[in-house]
Amino acid sequence: MRSATVLALIAAATLSDRAAAQGSCAEHLLVSGYFSNNVAIFDACSGAFVRQLDSSGRIRGAQAVRLNPANQLIYVVSEGTDRILRYRASDYEFVDVFAQLPGNFDPTGIDFGLDDEVYVASYGTSSVVELDPDSGTQVAVLLPAGSGLLGADNGMMVSVSGQLFVPGYDSSSVAMINPGSGSANVNFIRSGTGGMVNARGILDEGATILVGGEGSGAVYRFSASNGALVQTLITGLSRPTGLTRDAAGKLLVLTGNQVRRYEPDNGALIGTLANLNQGGISGGTFLALVPNPQAASVDQSQIGSQYWVFGSGPAQARSLSAEMVSATGSVYGAGFDPDEVVRKRWGSIT
pLDDT tens by residue, 244-274: 999 999 999 999 999 999 999 999 999 999 9
Return mean pLDDT, the chain: 88
Amino acid at 251: L
Could you tell me if residue 157 is inside a domain? yes
DSSP 3-state assignment of 338?
A: helix
Could you tell me if residue 194 is inside a domain? yes
Using the 8-state DSSP alphabet, how is residue 336 labeled?
-
Q: Which residues lie closer than 8 Å to 216 by C-beta, 6 or more apart?
A: 195, 196, 197, 198
159 shares a domain with 30: yes
Could you tell me if residue 337 is inside a domain? no
Over residues 311-322, the mean pLDDT reads: 57
By the 10 Å C-beta count (0-12 exposed, 13-18 middle, 19+ buried), 165 is classed as: buried
Could you tell me if residue 235 is inside a domain? yes
Q: What is the structure's pLDDT at 309?
A: 53
**CATH number of the domain residue 32 falls in:** 2.120.10.30
208 shares a domain with 244: yes
Could you tell me if residue 344 is inside a domain? no
141 has pLDDT over 80: yes
181 shares a domain with 311: no
Which helix (H) or strand (E) segment holds residue 8: the answer is helix 2-22
Instruction: Provide the pLDDT confidence category of residue 13 given band limits of 50, 70 and 90.
Output: very low
Q: How far, in Å, CA of 131 to CA of 249, rounded? A: 32
Could you tell me if residue 198 is inside a domain? yes
79 shares a domain with 35: yes
Q: What is the structure's pLDDT at 16?
A: 36
176 shares a domain with 101: yes
Phi first, then psi, for residue 185 (nearest 5°) are -105, 95
153 shares a domain with 245: yes
172 shares a domain with 320: no
153 shares a domain with 97: yes
Closest CA to 63 of 159, 169, 138, 149: 169
Q: How far, in Å, CA of 209 to CA of 161, rounded? A: 12
Q: Range of 308's domain?
A: 2-20+298-330
Phi first, then psi, for residue 338 (nearest 5°) are -60, -25
Could you tell me if residue 255 is inside a domain? yes
Q: How far, in Å, CA of 292 to CA of 290, rounded? A: 6
Of residues 302 and 221, the one with the higher pLDDT is: 221
Amino acid at 263: E
Q: How far, in Å, CA of 11 to CA of 246, rounded? A: 28
Amino acid at 122: S
Instruction: Provide the pLDDT confidence category of residue 320 given band limits of 50, 70 and 90.
Output: low
312 shares a domain with 180: no
307 shares a domain with 279: no
21 has pLDDT over 90: no
C-alpha distance from residue 139 to each of 71, 121, 132, 239 (Å): 20, 14, 6, 35
Instruction: Provide the pLDDT confidence category of residue 336 given band limits of 50, 70 and 90.
Output: confident
176 has pLDDT over 80: yes
Q: Looking at the 3D structure of the chain, how many domains does it have?
A: 2
In the chain, % of residues over pLDDT 70: 79
172 shares a domain with 321: no
Could you tell me if residue 159 is inside a domain? yes
Using the 8-state DSSP alphabet, how is residue 295 labeled?
S
305 shares a domain with 286: no
